Amino acid sequence: MEIQQLRVFLAVAEELHFGRAAERLHLAQPPVSRTVRQLERDLGTDLFIRSTRSVQLTAAGAALIPPAQEILATAERARASTLAAGRGEVGTVKLAYSGASTHVLVGVLAREVRKAYPGIEFRLDSQDFALPALARVLRSEVDISLGRWDFVPAGVQSRIIVEEHLVMAIPASHRLALQEEVHLAEFAGEPFVALPPHEGSVLGDRLRRLSLGAGFDPDIVQRAPDSWTAMALVGAEVGCSLTVSSVAENVTDPHVHFLRVLDETLPIYLRMAWRGASDNPALFPVLSLAEQVWPGRPHEPARPV
């Protein structure tokens, strides 16, 4: 029993006319008749009662219709799934992200991926810091990472999603809480809450640069494992914390105020990064969709000399 035999059988069963079935299948009538006869020989029973005036289904023919329809539907699903996999519309894409600033962006993309490509399993993996997430891209443990990196290594492609600016998170009871903008020099001698120091930390780098430029060393009284914890410590009046504008947009604690930092410094970009040589076909539909969901910048800005 072959797929084409079942396709011809169903056409004749629905039309109850060999000529009309042949037209529907874009075939000549003799091949249609031969195909039905061969199917009957294979099954060992008649499927149709033929006369010069009509074609009628036998009991065996009527019984064959549901399983034939199911077999053809299964074959079509298999064909569609195979083609979708070839286009990268079936598979798994893993995305690593970190911090309080990216969870809304990640949620938006995840919903769009599920809507546009239901055959792609989109796995989200929260990281404590952006640098380990980038290292996981290099090791092919994840397909995409979000983070703030001043540089990305060879073999990794990246695209800017958001350009951010620095803000100072302060307790609502702080003496500067009524201001909207500050210079870092106004925080000389203040207690600071900071993320753990590690190579490649953008916020750690900016805090060192700006405090040095302002003529003081920041008094870091506590290290927080992530931005959420840092903001909770600020709200608890443990200290102030240098962070980025997207954190301010996503944290709604009334006990924390955010002031824009006016000091000039290197730009801060939230980027998405992926391996240019990735062999995961499902990655590329997701990257294309991300360009629509996260327009970002069309071109990488030139670095100052």
State residue 300's pLDDT score. Answer: 55
Does the residue 213 lie in any domain? yes
Domain at 204, CATH number: 3.40.190.10
CB 92 within 8 A of CB 123: yes
Number of domains in the chain: 3
249 shares its domain with 107: no
**pLDDT (average), residues 147-167:** 90
Domain at 31, CATH number: 1.10.10.10
pLDDT at residue 91 greater than cutoff 70? yes
Domain boundary among 86, 109, 142: 86
Residue 10's domain comprises 3-86
Q: What's the whole-model pTM score? A: 0.65
**Residue 304 pLDDT grade (very low, low, confident, very high; cuts 50, 70, 90):** very low
Mean pLDDT of the chain: 88
pLDDT at residue 242 greater than cutoff 90? yes
Tokens 């995409």 belong to which residue?
A: 144
State residue 136's pLDDT score. Answer: 87
246 shares its domain with 257: yes
State residue 90's pLDDT score. Answer: 77
State residue 305's pLDDT score. Answer: 34
| pLDDT 10s digits, 15-67 | 999 999 999 999 999 999 999 999 999 999 999 999 888 999 999 999 999 99
State residue 86's pLDDT score. Answer: 65
State residue 302's pLDDT score. Answer: 45
128 shares its domain with 199: no
189 shares its domain with 53: no
pLDDT at residue 133 greater than cutoff 60? yes
35 shares its domain with 157: no
**How far is Cα 84 from Cα 301, in angstroms, rounded to an integer?**
36
125 shares its domain with 173: no
| pLDDT 10s digits, 177-235 | 999 999 999 999 999 999 988 766 889 899 999 999 999 999 999 999 888 899 999 99
State residue 151's pLDDT score. Answer: 84
54 shares its domain with 74: yes
Query: E-assigned strands of the chain?
Result: 48-50, 55-57, 91-98, 120-127, 144-147, 156-164, 166-171, 181-182, 191-194, 219-223, 241-244, 256-261, 268-275
Domain boundary among 53, 86, 119: 86
